[in-house]
Structures are given as structure tokens and as C-alpha cells.
């Protein structure tokens, strides 16, 4: 088995933190995202035979940083020279030959997660899986709907999201397990065709969206339970991740209490200090709002 990490993006929403560094070099509680992920993967050795990293923006700095880490798993690099004008579908396209060589764990580099997240993926006997979590209000991006056997019925991009159906949705965690056979028969052929037909400024999940429409797509969802994970796109995400993943319980509470808006962005946290008027809004106000909405 191998791991592929997509790390070519510029991370513009993180402002000054990524002005001279790639996105995965930002720190959460004093440790960069990429160092944390690399050490989590390194513990899987020798069953994990190599780690492939697709670099782009500030790629040489990233390679220099990684060369100084105490990682025993062999590391290989694929360079995306068009990182500024393409999206992650092109980064994965450049690594397609690796997908054909072995079973693959696929990660985006802006994620932080517990070890148990990877363990859940590896324990599951099904060869090709998409990690998903029950949709909550703080999440955004691609969601999926599932049937009773955890087959993925539909990939739904953020532009097609319907709040009326939010109870049916599961958020993609952006961590996948692809068997070599799935990559050979499904993912790489569709990835190649999709890139040629629609260009390289797309997301690799769009390919899975097409595959999910097949009668036998060969990929299932794995629902996470209480395992902690977070995707970091901006400064607020970084702030939230710092509090979720601090090992000190008192520091965890202090960081949560110091944030604007209280606890509402934290999964499964109930804020009993949040004042609620059960009589507001009344029916008349709602009717006026509905009538004048457009």
C-alpha cells in the first residue's frame, strides 16, 4: 500500500501564513499539518511502502522541510508546475501512474485528524472507500447521499447543496482508499477522460461523482463516528482546529471560551449559556419575510 498527498495548492485564504509557505506548512499547536500527517503515516510502516507527495506552490521549501523529518517510509515527489492555474484534479492526474501501481490512501494536505481516522479506513474490509461524516452546520463543500448499504448514491458539490435535504447528507472528509484494481478499471480512465473533456481547473471528486452514477461503481462510504478531524481553509478554521486538537483539557476549554460566537462551531457541543426566545420569530413576521424575500 502507498499514500498520496496532494500538496500543490496556494492556500490564499490563510493570508500572510501562506505568503511564503505552502498551505500544509501552517502550524496547529506548534506542529505543521504536513509533519503531523507524515508521522501518522510513518507509523504504518512497513505495510505502507511509500508516500507520494504532489508539490507545487513553494514546493522546494516543502521538500527541504520534509527532508529534515525523521521519516523512515520512502518519499517520492510529483511536481505540478501549473499549480496556479489548475485545481487538484490536475495534481492527481499527474500522479496517475502511482495510482496504477498499488492500493492507495489519498489525502489532501490541509487536513488534521486523529490516528483513529486512518485506523478505521484500514480496518474496513471493503477495498475502495470514501470517508464521510454526518453533515453538520459548520461543514461546507462536497456532500454525498448514501443508501442503506453505504453505497454512494450521489456526489453533490457545494453549488448544488439543498438545505431542505441536509439531514440526508454526509460530508466527504477528503480521505480515500482506492484499490489498485479500482484505480485501473474506474478512477484513472475516468480521471483521464474528465480532464481532457472539461479541463484541469476542477476537483478530483467530480470524477467520483461520475463514477457514482454507474450501475456498479465499486466504491462505498465509510461513516465516521466520534473521530476528530478538521479541514483548514482559513484563519478561523486554524483557530478551531487548535482548540479541538490540543491535548490539554483545560487549554481546550480556554480556547473554546475565548472564541467569538461561543461554542456553535464545535461539533456536538451544547452551549447552555446561549439565550433563546421560544416565541421568536412569530408567524406574522415569518409570513412577511417569506412574502418579501426576493
pLDDT digits (tens, 9 = 90+) for 36-77: 999 999 999 999 999 999 999 999 999 999 999 999 999 999
- How far is the C-alpha of 112 from the C-alpha of 275, rounded, in Å? 32
Q: 285 in a domain, yes or no? A: no
Q: 168 in a domain, yes or no? A: yes
Q: Residue 72 phi/psi, 5° resolution? A: -90, -25
- How far is the C-alpha of 250 from the C-alpha of 112, rounded, in Å? 21
Give the predicted TM-score (pTM) of the model. 0.88
For residue 94, the enclosing domain spans: 2-237
β partners of residue 28 = 31
Q: 256 in a domain, yes or no? A: no
Q: 287 in a domain, yes or no? A: no
Q: 142 in a domain, yes or no? A: yes
> What sign for the dihedral angle of Cα 61, 62, 65, 68?
negative
Contact 51, 38 (CB under 8 A): yes
pLDDT digits (tens, 9 = 90+) for 69-108: 999 999 999 999 999 999 999 999 999 999 999 999 999 9
What is the number of domains present in the chain?
A: 1
Q: 278 in a domain, yes or no? A: no
Q: 253 in a domain, yes or no? A: no
Q: 276 in a domain, yes or no? A: no
Look up residue 221 and give its DSSP letter. Answer: E
The pLDDT-based confidence of 279 (bands split at 50, 70, 90) is confident
Q: What is the DSSP string of 149-192?
A: T-BEEEEE-GGG--GGGGGG-EEEEEEEEE-HHHIIIIIHHHHH
Specify the CATH number for the domain of residue 93: 3.90.550.10
Amino acid at each position: 500500500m502507498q499514500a498520496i498527498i496532494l500538496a500543490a495548492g496556494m492556500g490564499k485564504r490563510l493570508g500572510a501564513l501562506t505568503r511564503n509557505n505552502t498551505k500544509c506548512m501552517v502550524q496547529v499547536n506548534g506542529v505543521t499539518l504536513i509533519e503531523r500527517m507524515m508521522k501518522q503515516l510513518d507509523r504504518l510502516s512497513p505495510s505502507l511502502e511509500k508516500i507520494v507527495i504532489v508539490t507545487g506552490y513553494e514546493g522546494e521549501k516543502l521538500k527541504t522541510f520534509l527532508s529534515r523529518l525523521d521519516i523512515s517510509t520512502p518519499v517520492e515527489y510529483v511536481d505540478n508546475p501549473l499549480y496556479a492555474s489548475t485545481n487538484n484534479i490536475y495534481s492527481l492526474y499527474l500522479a496517475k501512474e502511482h495510482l496504477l501501481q498499488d492500493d492507495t490512501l489519498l489525502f489532501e494536505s490541509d487536513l488534521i485528524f486523529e490516528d483513529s481516522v486512518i485506523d478505521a479506513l484500514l480496518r474496513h474490509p471493503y477495498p475502495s472507500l470514501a470517508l464521510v461524516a454526518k453533515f453538520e452546520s459548520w461543514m461546507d463543500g462536497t456532500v454525498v447521499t448514501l443508501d442503506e448499504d453505504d453505497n454512494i448514491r450521489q456526489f453533490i458539490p457545494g453549488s448544488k447543496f439543498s438545505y431542505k435535504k441536509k439531514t440526508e447528507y454526509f460530508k466527504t472528509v477528503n480521505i480515500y482508499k482506492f484499490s489498485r484494481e479500482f484505480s485501473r478499471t474506474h478512477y484513472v480512465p475516468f480521471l483521464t477522460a474528465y480532464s481532457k473533456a472539461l479541463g484541469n481547473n476542477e476537483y478530483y471528486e467530480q470524477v467520483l461523482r461520475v463514477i457514482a452514477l454507474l450501475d456498479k461503481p465499486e466504491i462505498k462510504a465509510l461513516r465516521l463516528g466520534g473521530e476528530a478531524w478538521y479541514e483548514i481553509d482559513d484563519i478561523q478554521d486554524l483557530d478551531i482546529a487548535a482548540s479541538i486538537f490540543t491535548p490539554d483539557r483545560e487549554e481546550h476549554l480556554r480556547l473554546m471560551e475565548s472564541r467569538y460566537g461561543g461554542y456553535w462551531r464545535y461539533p456536538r457541543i451544547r452551549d447552555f449559556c446561549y439565550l433563546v426566545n421560544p416565541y421568536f420569530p412569530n408567524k406574522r413576521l415569518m409570513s412577511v419575510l417569506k412574502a418579501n424575500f426576493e
